[in-house]
Amino acid sequence: MTTSHYIAGRWVEGQGSDCISVSEPALGLPFAELMAASVAQVDQAVAAAREALPTWKKVSASTRAAFLRGFAEQLGLRREALITLQMRNNGKPRHEAEIDLDDAIATFAYYADLAEQLPSKNRDVPLAAPGFTARTRLEPVGVVGLIVPWNFPLVTSAWKLAPALAAGCTVVLKPSEVTPLIEQTYGQIADTLGLPAGVLNIVNGKAETGAALSSHNGLDKLSFTGSNSVGSQVMRSASAQCRPVTLELGGKSAIVVFDDCDPDQAVEWIVAGISWNAGQMCSATSRLLVQDGIADTLLPRLQAALEKLRVGNPLTEEVDMGPLTSQAQWLKVASYFATAREEGLKCLAGGQALDREGWFVSPTLYTDVPKDSRLWTEEIFGPVLCARRFATEEQAIAEANDSRFGLVATVCSADLERAERVADALEVGHVWINSVQAVFVETSWGGTKGSGIGRELGPWGLSGYQSVKHVTRCLG
């Protein structure tokens, strides 16, 4: 796969020095290679986006909406191929890969609707002072760089690409080097739909490519999803240009279970929150706070449920959880198992890498984990759940909020008044009550504290790619 970069409406060969090896995590073996883009090709992609911007931002809202609906339709037409690729390159079980695709389709359809509403958002502004009139215009912020992670390829790209195009921006998209293949679909769809050249550009590569894009002075905005360590570098690059950024970073989220909750239902919510995508989610609810009155009933059932999860190759088996997506992530999670042994943590389930081909680990549960344990405070990005008990509502809120992250949380309680009260007190960007982590395009996504800056999805996602202009006229 040499022509893996989409620049100015053409597929081109990578001219960088890095060779990207794409692996199948269930086997631990590579199945594709591609050459990274060079720094010069990043320049070309930004230049193409810059050249396309004046025309694209003047395209009618209805035309942009039609292109977005075309993306949604074309994703649907490629359904089986995209699901299979998610299973093969990410290790996702089929039901997760299906939900990913449906999410991406819904995102393009939603922002097509919002794009059509944009003309009505430009309006007159009443003034208290006589002799003047004023109006507002919502304009595209300009050329944007989009850097997306490997845990939800296709989905995270849709969350960024759809609102950016709806707003009238042109984009340069950099997929993760771990999962670079599925985003090629967006370039193929752009060709099919006749999207004007330069509106969408895709460059693949490793750190060098990402650094070249994030520091490029031809961008007007950068949107990044990934780790806090890389996010801080992206922010430093943006600060040199005084450029706006959206950062969706890490999490160490809490799930709070009160003793009036049905234990079997609670187990379902807990398992989903830690095992979905093999725990490789910034939103994984990896800190379990369980009230004293239900702990002795719930923890053995949770242990049994985790041990019953079917872990395997989604292409050859019916599984509940697949492998970790990369060898690097497998080694990282294994290092936390070693840390848990060093700290003397009590392991009720799992706690080890599986002795089989591929990058598999067991769903894991540690109990009575001290608050100063690395496993309690650090984002592991794997199916590793740490549990602590609490006595009162106030204690639960305090311990849930005692984190440098603030992305999401889940509250489980039969007392809905209390659940709502606790949800309001949690210092996070999104809270679920008595639910799995259902994410809807109409809601916002993003966090507080170290979990990032800005919001994606919903109208907030669109506004992140718009600037507000006021026009004031003197009548005298």
Q: Which domains does the chain have, with CATH numbers?
A: 5-249+451-474 (3.40.605.10), 254-441 (3.40.309.10)
Question: What tokens were used for 215?
Answer: 């520091």
Q: Which of 96, 248, 379, 399 is catalytic?
A: 248
Evaluate if residue 123 carries a pLDDT over 80: yes
Taking the alpha carbons of 95, 96, 101, 106 in that order, is the dihedral positive or negative?
positive
Evaluate if residue 439 carries a pLDDT over 60: yes
Q: What is the pTM of this model?
A: 0.96
Mean pLDDT of 70-76: 98
pLDDT of residue 122: 80
Express each pLDDT in 239-273 by its tens digit.
Answer: 888 999 999 999 999 999 999 999 999 999 999 99
Mean pLDDT of 158-169: 98
Mean pLDDT of 328-339: 98
Q: Edge-to-edge, what's the strand order for the sheet holding 430-433?
A: 346-349, 364-367, 384-390, 287-291, 254-257, 408-412, 430-433
Beta bridge partners of 448: 406
Evaluate if residue 2 carries a pLDDT over 70: no
Q: Which percentage of the chain shows pLDDT scores above 90?
A: 96
In three-state form (DSSP H/G/I as H, E/B as E, the rest C), the secondary structure along 409-474 is EEEECCCHHHHHHHHHHCCCCEEEECCCCCCCCCCCECCEECCEECCECHHHHHHCCEEEEEEEEE
Cα–Cα distance, 160 to 162 (Å, whole number):
6
Query: Exposed, middle or buried by CB within 10 Å (0-12, 13-18, 19+), for 3?
Result: middle
282 given a catalytic annotation: yes
Picking from 57, 75, 166, the residue whose alpha carbon sits closest to that of residue 117 is 166
For 267, phi and psi rounded to 5 degrees? -60, -40
Q: Which of 282, 379, 412, 456 is catalytic?
A: 282
* Count of CB atoms situated within 10 Å of the CB of 360: 22
Express each pLDDT in 170-228 by its tens digit.
Answer: 999 999 999 999 999 999 999 999 999 999 999 999 999 999 999 999 999 999 999 99
- DSSP H or E run through 72: helix 61-77
Query: Exposed, middle or buried by CB within 10 Å (0-12, 13-18, 19+), for 347?
Result: middle
